[in-house]
Amino acid sequence: MSQAVAKKEKFTVWNTGNRSNQFVFYDNQVHVEIAGLGVVSINRTGEGIIVDVFDKTESNDSIASLAIEESEFSEGLADELQKEIEKFDPSIDLDAEDAISAYDNNQSTSAFIQAYFTENEFDCSGLTPLKGEVKEFHEQVKELQRPYIQISKEQYDVLIDGTADFYQTKGGKVVTFGNADGGYALMPLNDLAAEELLAKQSLLNAIFHQECFSDANVITFELLGWEQKLNHEVSSAIEKTVLIERNDARGSLELGIKVNFHWEKSTLDMEIVKFDRGQFEKFDLAVNVSRPLHKVLEDYISHLNGLNRIDVEELELAGITEEFPEKWKELLLSVKALSDKLGIK
């Protein structure tokens, strides 16, 4: 209600026929006269409010009363603040004092979250990169909504040097980044724009966001011929191996590819693994998800073959791919199928 209305001693709210319902204002009190019934009195106290209902008699005794403590008003806001801030970082646990302060200052949820991350640096390491390109400024800005999350120049530089225009927070919020409010910020997309972008994402993005292999993921991998080797809170891995039979004294060997998923930074790497005559060896490969996984393997073997000097283990690995091209091709096709399924094309 406007302050102009509140300053009036008596205010007719509406009329029904010849009956009139009226508000009467006093300090910390509002009396509502209900035509034909009685009066409802709302009293602001130091602890909250008390609502008393009186009939039309001259009695000072209320026929019903309700007391609501001040904390009950802020509890709903506390729940909303906690729910909304978890969309940016689920690890945050707000204090009750935070909600009370926001309530006392008539602070909106958006303003509170924006102020919170101005005082407490947002951890960008948990952002999952998403596929998609930003639109022209005048179009993209229409899809943004506050709160904007302040980030440092150093955090901005890391993001600008990356390959993604959009990211998803651990809590599920879809954001882009840029200059805002005299500094740098993560800027959330509105719900519709976020839904449209997420609908275009790959299986890899979904897996990184859930930070583990679901049962459905494991089944998908198994159908492609990959076995889960590890699945915990830091990283998870799958592996594909082939058995190579040699018709000589060397006997058989196992050659495989292991793909490691690192949850904290949403990154992948690969290993070529070899078990031969009781000896285990592995060769580490860095992965950029903008290049198909099987191409990364082909590039690595090509690199080995082009070296003038090469260590014994790498020489043996390159030799195996040449001696048993069908088995190497089988591995490459399995890696390609996995790469396609993950959306790394």
pLDDT digits (tens, 9 = 90+) for 188-200: 999 999 999 998 8
pLDDT at residue number 5: 34
Please give the average per-residue pLDDT across 176-194, as a whole number: 95
Please give the average per-residue pLDDT across 226-242, as a whole number: 92
Q: Is 259 exposed, middle or buried (0-12, 13-18, 19+ CB in 10 A)?
A: buried
- Are 56 and 72 in contact by the 8 Å Cβ rule? The answer is no
**pLDDT band at residue 321 using 50, 70 and 90 as cut-offs:** very high
215 vs 58: CA distance, rounded Å: 71
pLDDT at residue number 241: 96
- Are 297 and 335 in contact by the 8 Å Cβ rule? The answer is yes
pLDDT at residue number 155: 96
pLDDT tens, position by position, 2-33: 333 333 343 334 333 444 556 666 677 888 88
Residue with tokens 């495989």: 256
Indicate the range of 187-191, 209-213, 248-252, 307-311 predicted with least confidence. 307-311
265 CB-side CA count, 13 A: 9
Please give the average per-residue pLDDT across 258-263, as a whole number: 95
pLDDT at residue number 4: 34
As given in the structure block, the two tokens for residue 332 are: 């490459």
Q: Does the pLDDT value for residue 271 go beyond 60?
A: yes
pLDDT at residue number 131: 86
User: What are residue 28's phi and psi, to 5 degrees?
Assistant: 60, 20
pLDDT at residue number 74: 64
pLDDT at residue number 24: 64
Highest mean pLDDT among 16-20, 112-116, 308-312: 112-116
In 224-281, which ranges are continuous DSSP H helix?
A: none
> For the whole prediction, is pTM greater than 0.85?
no
Total count of residues recorded for the chain: 345
Mean pLDDT of the chain: 86
Indicate the range of 99-113, 228-242, 266-280, 290-304 predicted with least confidence. 99-113
209 vs 205: CA distance, rounded Å: 6
pLDDT at residue number 6: 36
Q: Does the pLDDT value for residue 183 go beyond 80?
A: yes
Q: Does the pLDDT value for residue 166 go beyond 80?
A: yes
Please give the average per-residue pLDDT across 74-95, as a whole number: 87
pLDDT at residue number 22: 63
Q: Which residues of 10-40 are buried (b: 16+ CB within 10 A; e: fewer)?
A: eeeeeeeeeeeebbebeeeebbbbeeeebbb
pLDDT at residue number 246: 83
244 vs 36: CA distance, rounded Å: 95
As given in the structure block, the two tokens for residue 151 are: 């980030």
Please give the average per-residue pLDDT across 298-325, as a whole number: 88
pLDDT at residue number 25: 65
As given in the structure block, the two tokens for residue 339 are: 């790469």
Residue with tokens 């951890």: 123
